[in-house]
Amino acid sequence: REMKRVSVALLLAATPAVAVSHVARVRAPRPAHRHARVASVAVVDVRQRGVGLGSSAARGRLPVMLEGGPPPEPSVEEEVFGEMEGELDRFDRLLKRLPTVAVGTSSNALVVLSSIFAWFVTPTRIPAAVTVGVAGAAGKQVGEKLRNRRRAVVPAAIAEMVNKDGLKRLDRAKVARLAERYDVPPELFEEQLRGVYARFLGALVDDEEVEPSDVSKLAALRRGLGLGWKATESIHVAEAASLAGEEAPGAELPEPLSKLLWASMTLFSTSRGSASADELLSTLGLSEARARGAVNEVSAPLYRAALAQAVGRYNRTQTPLVLQTVRKALNLPEEAAQAVHQDVYDSQLAKCLPSPGDDGAADAELSDETKALLSELEGVLQIRGAAQRVHARTIPLYRSSAAALLEAPTSVGDPGGAWAALALRQQGLALPTERAKAVLQEESRRIATARLEDAARLAAAGRDDEATSALLELTGWADLVGSLVQLAGWSGEAPARDLAERYLGALSLEPGLEEAAQRLLSGTGANLASSLPLLQSMLALGTPSLKAARDDYCSRLDRLLASAQYGESERKALDAAATQLGLPEPLARKLALDAYYGWLLDLTEGFGSRSSDAKAELERSAELRACLQLEPSAVGELYSNTEIDASVLSACCDALAPGSEYEAMETMQHLERALDARPGVVAQILRTS
């Protein structure tokens, strides 16, 4: 009787633990945020103490609570590993603290106690061996469940290590000893480690914020858990398959998938070839180029932020080395980093030099301080073609000022004052003389063309007197242009009227207005006799008496382009032909410019079928311009009116063979110089292609 009483007491002593563990599973739902749990406990505490909202104690504490503000948002590792550690109930925490020997003893005791209890309570008519055996098997099953439940606390034990020491101090040896401490088989322990890593990876990918330290956290967790690269790679592939689902990604990748690609490819780049993203890309159905583009889109903002800090903290020598380290950590290629550099440089230019029409644009200039700043930034960021980028901002400002001065009525009577204002504007914008000359000629020819077309429209409407007055006003304005060129010293000691004939000759009018202009010119009276050579030069493209000479000269230009010989002898032959045919110099240059335009059009079409030959021909464009004696101002006018430089360079960019973006950028900048394209054209093409 005494033995039965002791056996029942021992068995009942083990039973409450199981009962408590069952009851502990049915608990109130936890708040999603750990700070929310703290807040709920605080509210309960206040209510238990009986402190009402109207009490003096509550009023005394309330301002302090409000002044503190909301608690800081926890990091991803705090949320993930805090949640993992908090998932253990009271019985799990008890099992976690027990040594392995105690758990084994308890399991064996359950078998013994179950058998003893069954032996005492079994009636005499039932064989004792049967009941004792059944009770022992049940006790063994309960003991095995106890062992398995204790083994399941390993992820929480790892989370406790992370919460205590930090993710980067997770000790691989201590983690490995958990398998022995909790008696976990190797296969199950490996599965638990993979589950911990997969859970953290999923939370990191789902987080909206992207931090440069995300990859280093994954690397630290992988090392601390002792996971191999193949296991890590398979976890990332499984996460990608879970995010992507059954449908292939669309044109724009979802943010979690982009972040996973970025984290995976950046992490695998540190494996020294032990891990590859090939299976990951195959799972997602992405090409290497598209995946690299998605990774660059994630890395670029992080690199830009690091770039801003480095420029403000380090000197010109240290910054490139620091940025090289950052690029390596972010797995950002050189060409993508260079694109960020150029964007930062352009943003700084936009702050220093506003666009025409913006506030302060009329007085904007490159001061000594601004030039020193841009020079320093150019060296730090290693900007290629910085001068072209500066000109892309300064030329529109100078063009706006030049147009305003040319159209101002007071400029005609004071060419010296107009030239002084233009010279000061050129100096303030640090614009080279060739660029300023090209802009002034472009704007002069644009205004002259518009005024000549207005006179032709008046003549077509039968208002000849008004048309004649418009021509008189035009010739007076043309003298201003000649005076400006003369004051600038761009064409020697020639008279102003002769310079006007040269710079404003062979204008292209709208279709239908050429005939009206020629009729108006043939009917001019004595009041326009002195201006007739100037007006004839402007309308030389449509002069009937020069049609045969124009056709002959165009045929010679076609044969020159077909021969692809652009040497000195060919240039002299063209000069001799123009003199023999009696072509005015402006007309000959205009016909040559039209031939150059046709040649560029053919190249644009040639990049689709014979890209290598077309690229080689485009590299000879400077040689052709020298043979045709095309001045930069005339070429700039052609590019501004037709945008053929952008068309041919865009076709070339599309025809480039797949390869490094850095090589593509180098090729395009080389062709930009050969073509003498407008500043900023290649940058825009590369930005949008």
pLDDT, one tens digit per residue, over 332-370 is 988 889 889 988 999 999 999 998 888 888 889 999 999
Reply yes or no on whether the pLDDT at 428 is more than 60: yes
| Residue at which a domain ends, from 50, 73, 96 | 73
User: Tens digits of per-residue pLDDT, 211-230?
Assistant: 889 999 999 999 999 999 99
Structural domain range at position 58: 34-73
CA distance 398 to 404: 10
| This prediction's pTM | 0.71
| Residue at which a domain ends, from 498, 530, 545 | 545
* pLDDT given at position 130: 46
Share of the chain above pLDDT 90, in %: 43
Reply yes or no on whether the pLDDT at 170 is more than 70: yes
Instruction: For residue 488, tell me if it sits in a domain.
Output: yes
What DSSP state is assigned to residue 677?
P
* pLDDT given at position 304: 93
* pLDDT given at position 145: 78
CA distance 225 to 204: 17
- Higher-pLDDT residue of 510 and 246 is 510
Instruction: For residue 273, tell me if it sits in a domain.
Output: no
Domain count across the chain: 3
* pLDDT given at position 661: 64
Instruction: For residue 98, tell me if it sits in a domain.
Output: no
| Residue at which a domain ends, from 44, 73, 102 | 73
Long-range contact set of residues 525-533: C-beta below 8 Å, sequence gap at least 24: 525/468, 527/468, 527/472, 528/468, 528/471, 528/472, 528/475, 531/471, 531/472, 531/475, 533/501
Instruction: For residue 254, tell me if it sits in a domain.
Output: no
CA distance 521 to 529: 10
Shared domain for 355 and 410, answered yes or no, is: yes
* pLDDT given at position 105: 52
Query: Could you tell me the sign of the dihedral formed by the alpha carbons of 592, 597, 602, 603, in that order?
Result: positive
User: Tens digits of per-residue pLDDT, 453-489?
Assistant: 999 999 999 898 899 899 999 999 999 999 999 999 8
Shared domain for 541 and 617, answered yes or no, is: no
What DSSP state is assigned to residue 55?
S
Reply yes or no on whether the pLDDT at 63 is more than 60: no
CA distance 205 to 213: 13
Shared domain for 644 and 659, answered yes or no, is: yes
Instruction: For residue 649, tell me if it sits in a domain.
Output: yes
Task: Compute the average pLDDT of residues 561-575.
Answer: 93
Shared domain for 603 and 495, answered yes or no, is: no
* pLDDT given at position 683: 80
Instruction: For residue 13, tell me if it sits in a domain.
Output: no
Instruction: For residue 422, tell me if it sits in a domain.
Output: yes
Shared domain for 427 and 539, answered yes or no, is: yes
* pLDDT given at position 663: 72
pLDDT-based confidence at 72, cuts 50/70/90?
low
* pLDDT given at position 554: 95
Q: Is 63 exposed, middle or buried (0-12, 13-18, 19+ CB in 10 A)?
A: exposed
